[in-house]
Amino acid sequence: IWWLDPELTYGNAKPFVFTQGHSVCNRSFFPCFDTPAVKCTYSATVKAPAGIQVLMSATQSTYLEEEGVYQFYMEYPVPAYLVALVAGDLIHADIGPRSRVWAEPCLLPTAISKLSGMVERWLAAAESLYGPYIWGRYDIVFLPPSFPIVAMENPCLTFIISSILESDEFLIIDVIHEVAHSWFGNAVTNATWEEMWLSEGLATYAQRRITTETYGAAFTCLETAFRLDALHRQMKLLGEDNPVSKLQVKLEPGVNPSNLMNLFTYEKGYCFVYYLSQLCGDPRHFDSFLRAYIEKYKFTSVVAQDLLDSFLNFFPELKEQCVESKAGLEFERWLNATGPPLAEPDLSQGSSLTRPVEMLFKLWTTEPLDSVAAASSVDLTKWRTFQTVLFLDRLLDGSPLPHEVIKKLSECYSSQLDSMNAEIRIRWLQIVVRNDYYPDLYKVRRFLENQMSRMYTIPLYEDLCTGTLKSFALEIFYQTQNQLHPNLRKTIQQILSQGLNPLPAIDTTAVATDTPAMVLEDKVSEATNGAISLRDVNVSA
> From the annotation, which residues make up the binding site for Zn(2+)?
177, 181, 200
Rounded to whole angstroms, the Cα distance separating 146 from 161 reads 8
The pLDDT tens digits for 337-353 are 999 999 999 999 999 99
Rounded to whole angstroms, the Cα distance separating 223 from 386 reads 6
**pLDDT reported for residue 26:** 97
- Asked about 104 being catalytic, the answer comes back as no
> From the annotation, which residues make up the binding site?
177, 181, 200
Report the chain's mean pLDDT, rounded to a whole number: 91
Q: How far is CA 206 from the centre of its chain?
A: 16
3-state secondary structure of 70: strand
3-state secondary structure of 46: strand
**pLDDT reported for residue 137:** 98
- Ordered domains of the chain (ranges, CATH): 2-182 (3.30.2010.30), 190-251+258-336 (1.10.390.10), 348-497 (1.25.40.320)
Catalytic residue among 70, 81, 266, 461: 266
The pLDDT tens digits for 476-513 are 999 999 999 999 999 999 999 986 543 333 333 333 32
- Asked about 521 being catalytic, the answer comes back as no
Could you tell me the CA-to-CA distances from 120 to 117, 123, 175, 210 in Å, in that order? Answer: 6, 5, 12, 12
Q: Give every residue of the chain whose pLDDT is below 50, as ranges.
A: 501-541
Residues 6+ apart with CB under 8 A from 20: 2, 84, 147, 148, 149, 152, 159
**pLDDT reported for residue 252:** 87
Catalytic residue among 178, 223, 267, 462: 178
26: left (phi > 0), else alpha (psi -120 to 50), else beta? alpha
**pLDDT reported for residue 367:** 79
